[in-house]
Amino acid sequence: MIIGLKQRLSLIYGTTIMAVVVFVASLIFTVFKFYPVILERFETTYIGIILVFVPVSLFFSYLVGWVISEQLHSSRYEITPRVSDAPPLPTLLLEEEFQIKMGSIRSSVEKMREAYEQIQHFSVNASHELRTPLTIMRGEVELALRSQKSAEQYQHILASLLEEILRLSRIIDDLLLVARSQIGQVPMERQRFNLRQLIEEMADEADLFTSQAGITFHAGPAEDAWIEGDALRIRRVVLNLIDNAVKYNQHGGSVTLSLKARDGWALVSVRDTGFGIPADALPRIFDRFYRVDREHAKSRSGTGLGLFIVQWIAQTHGGDVLVESTPDEGSEFIVRLPLDDTRPSSPQAHS
């Protein structure tokens, strides 16, 4: 049996008191042993007291010990419950909260895994994209230095170098634009302009670009559509979509660029007759560094940033991007931008 701390202290004090009584009695025996008559009377009285009052003495010794224990140690060893302690939660609530926390942790881990895979894919794609033009430029320069060449040959080499330099510049611009967009440090020059003029100007450039890849370009109808925004960024949107349409098109296919104004929106459409996009890839095509992983697209170049930039620019202008695609038939990307319904006037820049 385990007894409490106060009980143990009471026994200790009570035993100490009894020991003192016994010690005093022994001392009396020692002192009066030289007086036999007195000692004999004391022994008789003491033995009688012991036989009659020992139980009472033990009880009073314990009682005195308990009082001493209470006075000396009550405040030191007293334990009282805290009123502020909340009652324990039911088991079902604890299990539900645990499941919620675990679900949140699993979601965070999954997002980190996806981000890590995207970075891995980007590293591979970006390394390939940067290495390819550098390799071509190095080969062209070595060829030019190997022997004397005619002016036409040097002009051809310089044109090839310029093309690869522009390709490198575009890749680096994409990387910088994505990095700056994440921290909100991309300047936007806002001005009111007619989107139809920009589309018509880009038609000739798109025709030249697609013809080099064996793709036919069609300029669809272009309606007046006044918007307020950054003309250079909108131009970048159209170029990225045309580049994407050519990149994932079939040889001998076609690309169509058109512009309509409907229900307060300017609708820029880029339609191709390419390989199309698998249904399971449609939700992710606007993610950073994501590329459609299909057999016919594995050899296609790209960092997986083009469509991300398209969507980001559209959203910063208050619009969005819609896509419809049928595998092996083609895709259509529609950029929606809000129309500026104020009366046409000369472009006015806004900071």
How large is the greatest C-alpha to C-alpha distance in the chain, in angstroms? 152
CATH of 116-183, one of 1.10.1740.10, 3.40.50.1860, 1.10.287.130, 3.40.50.720: 1.10.287.130
The radius of gyration computed from the CA coordinates of the chain, to the nearest angstrom, equals: 47
Domains in the chain: boundaries: 5-76, 116-183, 193-338
One digit per residue, the tens of pLDDT, for the chain of length 351 reads: 344 555 666 667 667 766 776 677 677 666 666 666 666 666 666 665 555 555 656 666 666 666 666 666 555 544 444 545 555 656 666 778 878 888 888 888 888 887 777 676 666 666 766 777 788 888 888 888 888 888 888 888 888 888 788 778 877 777 777 777 766 666 677 899 999 999 998 888 888 778 878 899 999 999 999 999 999 889 989 989 998 898 888 888 999 999 999 989 999 999 999 888 888 888 888 887 777 755 544 445 566 788 988 999 999 999 999 999 998 889 999 999 999 876 554 444 333
**What pLDDT does residue 351 have?**
33
Report the topology of domain 193-338: Heat Shock Protein 90 (3.30.565)
CA distance 115 to 111: 6
**What pLDDT does residue 43 have?**
62
**What pLDDT does residue 198 have?**
92
Q: Is 300 within 8 Å of 247 (Cβ atoms)? A: yes
**Tokens 């042993």, located at residue:** 33
Whose CA is closest to 220, among 262, 254, 248? 254
Q: How far is CA 114 from CA 102, 109, 119, 247, in A?
A: 18, 9, 9, 25
**What pLDDT does residue 70 have?**
64
